Structure 1
Amino acid sequence: MPLILLLAAAAAAGDINPDASALFDRDPALNAWALARFDANHDGWLTLFEAQSAVGELKRLADTNHDGRVTVQEYEAARRFLVARFNLAASDAR
């Protein structure tokens, strides 16, 4: 099946988060991490589809109690981990 049909099927199934890019746009540290790991075409921007993978990985890292939700505390802890682990620039770390 062509990629565009797979993406369309995923979007129709509700697997696409239309706000995924906004999460990284508003947080320079997370954006730096996401670009380094998920910018597949290396253009310096996260497409909506690239951001889906980044959000999924962030959720996997952050949801430490595996309840399917990320609390503010889990988000902040995951963000601190990513800043430390990937040695993000201090200006990106808020």
Structure 2
Amino acid sequence: MIRVYVGLALWYLVLSLITFGVYWWDKRAAIHGRWRVRERSLHLLAALGGWPGGWLARHLLRHKSRKPSFRLVFWLTVLANLTLPAALWWGRWG
């Protein structure tokens, strides 16, 4: 079971780094008036496990931090991601 948690942690780390980079790219594009990343793509990265990187990018880069609809969907992806490790833990010990 420990391998599952280590694998999950690595997955979240890699996806978080990628997600942070995509947020950074989108922020730069917004500043310079260039092509933007779709919000749907940002949410997909968060839902796949990159939400810690997205959360960090939102705070450090001050990107996508004001739009209520984006924030709602973002936090729903966080909630969905937090239920996975909890379900694994509960299934193992419950």
Q: How high is the TM-score relative to the length of structure 2?
A: 0.26
**Counting helix residues as a fraction of each chain, which structure ranks higher?**
2
